[in-house]
Structure 1
Amino acid sequence: RLPVRGVEEAAPRQPFGVAAVLAVALTRVELRAGDPRAAVQALPDWTAPDAESWPLPVRLAAGLLDAVLAERGGDDRRAGRILEGVLDLAEPDGYRRVFTRAEPGVRDLLAAHLDSGTAHWPTVSDLVRGADERRADEPTDRPGTTERALDEPLTERELTILRYLQSILSNVEIASELSLSVNTVKTHVRNIYRKLDATRRREAVRRARELRLI
């Protein structure tokens, strides 16, 4: 990785943290140029003790790039651990802009993080939903690419339970959260599977995202 301290020594008159900003920018350039190895080398160490003095958006951006690079390198578990660390850092201040303005593919990274489990489920769910809404608002030159509507729409209660299916909560825990009986939740889940033409939870969630229901 790029030695941020060395960059600062080479440009001592720069305000503190500017070297990290430049390193993050260089990482983005290398990533968009299709050179992940160079991007990894350019990425500043956002977990180092001196990184605590960086501006929060810079540190979060570096962490998010770290997660993206881990995922593209095929290490999904490490990507998930890094992403959870970034969310831990962002949560106290409610900082979300770095996620909404992130690299292409971050939405899918966040969606996968919902499936694997996170302590920040409401935040990640909102970020994924927001990304889908922005995508829906984007103009397209390819007519007819919108997913067909369901033959039988989901009810409001089914949509609520569907959102919980993104989490790691069991049916028993979902029932407790919604003050419903477990049998009622199971009935709704069966209806969701039938309407989405799915046979298991992950498949139902994937199908719902394709239809932009969640």
Structure 2
Amino acid sequence: MKTFIRFAILSCLFVFSASSMNAQVNGQNVTFIKFGNASGFLGTYIQKSGKTWVEEGKQQGVSNFTFKETHRDEWSVYLVDASRGVNIQLDLHTKKVMYSDRNNPTSRELYNIIEQYSGVNGWTAMSAKFVTSDNNRGFFAHTSGKTWEETNRRNPNTKFTFQEVGRDEWSVYLHDASRGVNIQLDLHRKKVVYSDANTASFDLYDITQSN
């Protein structure tokens, strides 16, 4: 009986925690949205920097359209693509992406919002600062397209170049084909994880900051 009660309490705490995390994402702090339709996932809206957002399809890292954020309210983010005369409302209350354009200013439903996230996470991260066990410091930074670079304070002229091969909710995955090296920037555990053809995954550095 005690085991059952303990399990029930833990289950309730898990549900409450998940619900609370979801409730914290609103129009004021959202940075990433997955959208789709009845057939499933179609793409994402990602706040890249400042007021700049991009819409990407299923192929991550390939921007279909670029938007400027005009304002926010409690439940929505409002975006504009001036080059096409397109306005987008990311409505987290109704879970809808709303669309209008210069030829039809009436706002209408474009997509369903499937998931939303706030802050820096695996979907939005563009850089990660790290510290080594001997207190050397450096960073991984997205430079263009799917290209990232690693540099460090002690040897600033030595740089390693990686290609981004994937992302998920908490991590960015990088690969250096010239050295056969794989890197996972794990923002949940705050670790840089290393592996290669001869070495299983292990924690290489601590992540101190991400943007």
TM over 0.5, yes or no? no
> TM-score band (shorter)?
under 0.3
Normalised TM-score (structure 2): 0.25
Normalised TM-score (structure 1): 0.24
- Where is the strand percentage greater, Structure 1 or Structure 2? 2
- Where is the helix percentage greater, Structure 1 or Structure 2? 1
